[in-house]
Amino acid sequence: MKKRWISYPYLLWMIIFIIVPLILVLCFSIFISTDNGLQFSLNNYKRFMEPLYLKVLWRSVVLAGISTIICLILGYPVAMILASKQMSKKSFLLFLCILPMWMNFLLRTYAWMTLLEKNGFINKILSFFGIGPFQLLYNNAAVILGMVYNFIPFMILPIYSVMKKIDPSVIEAAEDLGANQITVFKKIIFPLSLPGVFSGISMVFMPAVTTFVIPRLLGGGQFMLIGNLIERQFLLSGDWNFGSAVSIVMMIIILISMAIISKYDKEHEGGQLW
């Protein structure tokens, strides 16, 4: 079975549709067209360092960071409960936890629009008790809620798959040696679950920091995040050079954090979707 040539169609595909496009993005970000043809320039990167754009980057990182922390706080216990041996119908419950992840992303976001809007479901319930109506949409909290709702399965799944592999005899041994439940958690369960936590953090943070749909639909567009910034450069203002520079910065940030996280997650067992 030495037929390497059968992979050549893919290699060609890979060069044309993966490598060349990324090189083009890089070129657009570092060359600007002037009267004397193309010229090398880092102006687009410098422009990104202006306070206006750094604020956008900062806001994206903060909102995605808060969402990631909330996902971790809410998701960790879920993973722990699912991985504990007493739970019956475990695989069905796990299936329920990750099923929403396969529902169309836009529909999940849209579902919250209908709940949060001014004469939506939540405001109707509140008015039943004589309070409201409140403007629940178009603020940071709505964006964070949308991110948590959309990405929490990505936190539960990797933590669960790591926890499931913890050898129960290790926990029993600790208990036999007199450790109480808090010590067992602190000294055994939590450290052993860290690879899952790291890959969960990356799987939530990465899509959250780059999304432009959630801020557009739930944030109403006035809350510009870095994804919206890129989208605008390409579809509205037509400034491809600046848009490419922002994309390159974002790509580098994400690939570096991926590399750091995969160091902690050496066996790649946390990242699997099935």
Partner 1 sequence: MVKNIISRIYLFIILLFLYAPIVILMIFSFNDSKSRAKWNGFTLKWYESLFSDPDIKKALYYTIIIAILSSIISTIIGTLAAIGIHNMQKWKKIFIMNVTYLPILNPDIVTGISLMILFIFVNLKLGFTTMLLAHITFNIPYVILSVMPKLKQLNKHLYEAALDLGATPLYAFYKVILPEIMPGVITGALLAFTLSLDDFVISFFNTGSGVTNLSITIYSMARRGVEPTINALSTLMFIVVLILLFIVNKRTSKDTN
Which of 33, 34, 36, 104 contacts partner 1 by CB under 8 A?
104
133 three-class SS: coil
153, 101 contact by CB (below 8 A)? yes
State yes or no: residue 129 binds partner 1 (CB under 8 A). Answer: no
Helix pair angle (240-264, 226-235), 10° resolution? 150
State yes or no: residue 58 binds partner 1 (CB under 8 A). Answer: no
Identity of the residue, 51 or 243, whose beta carbon is nearer to partner 1 in the bound complex: 243
Please state the closest distance from residue 40 (CB atom) to partner 1, in A.
18
112, 218 contact by CB (below 8 A)? yes
State yes or no: residue 13 binds partner 1 (CB under 8 A). Answer: yes
Please state the closest distance from residue 247 (CB atom) to partner 1, in A.
5
Which of 5, 129, 168, 238 contacts partner 1 by CB under 8 A?
5
Identity of the residue, 1 or 177, whose beta carbon is nearer to partner 1 in the bound complex: 1
State yes or no: residue 77 binds partner 1 (CB under 8 A). Answer: yes
Q: Write down the residue that tokens 């801020």 correspond to.
A: 215
179 three-class SS: coil
Q: Write down the residue that tokens 């948590």 correspond to.
A: 148
Please state the closest distance from residue 157 (CB atom) to partner 1, in A.
13
State yes or no: residue 117 binds partner 1 (CB under 8 A). Answer: yes
CA 212/CA 45 separation, integer angstroms: 21
Which strand (E) or helix (H) includes residue 31? Answer: strand 31-34
State yes or no: residue 33 binds partner 1 (CB under 8 A). Answer: no
Q: Which among 33-41, 43-51, 115-123, 171-179 is the span making contact with partner 1, rule CB under 8 A? A: 115-123
Please state the closest distance from residue 213 (CB atom) to partner 1, in A.
7
Handedness of CA 263, 269, 270, 271 (dihedral sign): positive
Number of residues that bind partner 1 (CB under 8 A): 82
Q: Which among 36-44, 58-66, 168-176, 252-260 is the span making contact with partner 1, rule CB under 8 A? A: 252-260
Question: Of 254, 251, 267, which is closest to residue 29 (Cα–Cα)?
Answer: 251
Which of 100, 239, 264, 269 contacts partner 1 by CB under 8 A?
100
53, 228 contact by CB (below 8 A)? no
